[in-house]
A and B are shown apart, each in its own frame.
Chain A
Amino acid sequence: MASAVFPRQKTRFLPDINEKSPVKASLQRKEMKKPNRGSGERERIQTTTMNAGEIAQFRYSLHQNLCVSMLQEGFHRSFKEFFSLLQRWKADRLAAGPDSKLWLTHSLEEQPHKLEKLKEHLTRAEAAQRADQYVEVYESHLALAKFFSEPEDMWLRHHFYKLSLKAAREVKTDSSRREAEANAHLAHLYLERGDLELAQEHFEMFHHLAVGQSWQDESGHTHLFRSCESLCRVYTLLAQRQLQCREYLVAIQLLKQAYEMTKEAGDKKMEGEAAYRLGLAYQSMGNQTTAKQILNIFMEISTALGDMESLGKAYKAIAKSLESEGKISDAIEHLQKYLEVCQENNQHENLQDAYMCLGSIHISQAEYERSCEYFTQAFEMACSLDLKPCIQKAEVCLGIARAHSMLRAYTTHLQTNMPPNVCTLISWKETREDKFHEALRESAGFTHCS
């Protein structure tokens, strides 16, 4: 029947010279066979060494070969995963358009080592999953996530962290340690990406699972400590975002949570810093008494730790609170302490800052002489440290303070309007010497007395 299938040959007038007549063919075969059987055998060996798989390697793309070999071994889930990941990348790229950054990056298909790694771990995971060994599933997904460490592969990392979390939930024997770790990984990724809410959710899960367990990571910290630390960071970041929108109440709530976390973590330094931030938030809301209380805690912690820089910060912050409450003398006292602390510990930049603060508080109290002194010191300090913006600021402040201090004498000269006064004014205007400013004051005092 088969002969009927193939095209009907039109009969030709002359026989086709290319056509093999059966007689000829059989003759040729005999000739071929007889002289050297060895070569025939060799040929056979050569042909057998090249199997279908090897041919496929040359003919098709690596992507296709990997897919086919996975399917051939029955790893259809891996294939699905692999295939959909590549498709997703393509779709993302198309959606992003030719102007985007994604358009120029290398596709996965151009990076054979990544494809092979993917295949290796995916198949291992599937084999393990078939045998209900979720620990290994978790580990191979985690290995994949860690393998894709480059920033451009973040979406893959995200995907595999998610999968590892899923696998970890199935592991029943380790009292959810792996689940906690998977949550932590995922949360760190979200934090890196800037999805603070998601990060918060997963860190909270991590914390919830880590409570009451004594798990430790490679560096010797407990998981609980890590979770508290990370949560504190996330809460702080969230609070900062709220502060920018001037949502003080929400921000304070978050900062309080952060503070609680640091307390739970038991790290005094972190606790102090959290307290400082909370204090500042209260300050910006206007609740000075609470702010002071909390800043005092910060101060105590700093003194206990001997952290002089933080102590200085504490004094400064408390001084600010006191100033806005109107207790200027107390504020000045605290600022003096700040100054002392800085001087004792050779913190030059903070010292400069302290001088500036003192200068401004005095200028606000109309004590121009004092403020002049402080500003001069600040200016000198800034010059010696070569801090451009600070130099400029100090210059301007100093100028303002001097001007203020001269203003009274100057106006009295103008008001008395006697020839000597006018002369002094004129001579001052000509020279504009610094010394004159004291002379002016003296003469002003003189005129007052008379």
Chain B
Amino acid sequence: MSISPLANPKGTKKLCELCEKPAHLQCTNCRVTFYCDAAHQQADWNSIHEKVCELLISVRTPAPFYCFQADRDFHHMQSLKRLEHITELSHAAAKSWVSVGKYSEAIPAAQLSLRCAIDIYGPDVVELVPAYLLLAEANIGLGSLSQAESCLSQAEWMVMKNPGCSQTVLHLLHRTLGRLYSATGDYSSALLHFANDVYYASEEFGLDSVVTAGGYFLMANVFVKQEKTDIANSLYSEVASTWHAHLSKLMESYSQKEHEGAQYFDVAHCAEVNRMLSVLLEAQQQDVNTHPAYSTTLAHSLGQRALLSHSLAMLWFLCNDHKKALDFGRKAAEFSQQCEHNSLAESIQSLIQQAETHLKPEQTPIIHH
């Protein structure tokens, strides 16, 4: 529904949800969100508005008149709760957009989450940092680095003002900063920030956690860009072994619990891990192609490839994609047969068997039709 800025009551400005220009459109459903043009409305709808449209009504309409303080307080509490809910919802949505790689879709959601967070907590508090970081990450993905930088400097400033903030926040901040600098090409700063990231992550989650491994992976990417392949390779193998250990543990708990129910990875997370492991695998393959001479490195890289394929197989198995699991499992078996001393063969075989048993009931109905 279109509105005219001139027809607004005096003192109230209707601004676009995305760009803060004077609005010409209104969402007909909730009647509390405004847009400058149809493109922005469409973008917001796709990103987050569809999910929060109903919720926004109660938050954005002005409070009705209550006689009693108790009533007013109650209403205030209610709206705070709703705001929190919206924040969480939009944050999660933005996160999943980012991890899938659709950054332009992520931005409206991230903005909404940040705005709600500001409404709840006030302008300069640590609680806003994750929202800022998410927005920055989406901006980095889009390539609008100056925007990302401004978000990050806001976040950095907040962290600086609150010296006792948690390690998790610091770790996330440094990781995003590192991403920014590696995108701008300032590799030494990027390394500095990734180093800090790894430090905080290992303080918080331990040395062998997959969170720390994520930091290592990003560092390795920077080293690849700096063409220090030996360092990058040793980092890659570290990441690979960490993830392999983690996935094996998950597999074990899966087989102990007997059955599904528990979901180990959501789609976004699975895609992210898959991307990372594939990069590792590719790097190994390239390494072999570039240095075919050394027999020791060949054996090492075969072992690594077996490890990585096994990890991927386990990942797909846990994501209930048994066909892919089987493919990677066979690949892993192939690699592990080629290298001499393989401790993996047994677990790979058992994985292949499990995947096959899962595949059979899936295939049989197809045969019948």
A interface residues (Cβ-Cβ under 8 A, vs B): 1-8, 11, 52-53, 64, 67-72, 74, 76-77, 79-80, 83-84, 87, 130
Contact = CB atoms under 8 A, between A and B. Distances in A.
A79 B192 CA distance: 14
Contact of B198 (A5, A69, A71, A84): A71
B111 A67 contact: no
A7 B111 contact: no
Contacts of A67: 195, 199
Given A67-B199, A68-B195, A130-B230, A1 B18 contact: yes
Nearest to A2: B147
Interface of B: 11, 15-20, 107, 111, 114-115, 118, 123, 135, 147, 150-151, 154, 188-189, 191-192, 194-196, 198-199, 202, 207, 216, 219, 223, 228, 230-231, 234-235, 238
23 contacts: A1-B107, A1-B147, A2-B150, A3-B20, A4-B19, A4-B20, A4-B111, A5-B135, A7-B123, A8-B20, A53-B192, A68-B195, A69-B195, A71-B195, A71-B199, A71-B219, A72-B191, A74-B231, A76-B198, A76-B219, A77-B234, A77-B238, A83-B202
B228 A71 contact: no
A3 B114 CA distance: 13
B192 A72 contact: yes
A7 B194 contact: no
Given A4-B20, A11-B11, A52-B189, A76 B238 contact: yes
Nearest to B163: A59
A1 B199 CA distance: 34
Nearest to B110: A5
Contacts of A72: 188, 191-192, 195
Given A76-B235, A77-B234, 5 more contacts: A3-B20, A64-B199, A68-B195, A76-B216, A130-B231
Contacts of B19: 1, 3-4
A11 B11 CA distance: 8
Contact of B194 (A52, A71, A80): A71
A335 B63 CA distance: 114
Nearest to B195: A71
Contacts of A64: 199
Contacts of B196: 68
Nearest to B148: A2
Of A3, A5, A6, most B-chain CB atoms within 10 Å:
A5
Contacts of A79: 198-199
Contacts of B228: 74
A375 B228 CA distance: 86
Contacts of A4: 16-20, 111
B183 to A, nearest CB: 17
Given A83-B207, A130-B230, A7 B118 contact: yes
A80 B151 contact: no
B43 to A, nearest CB: 11
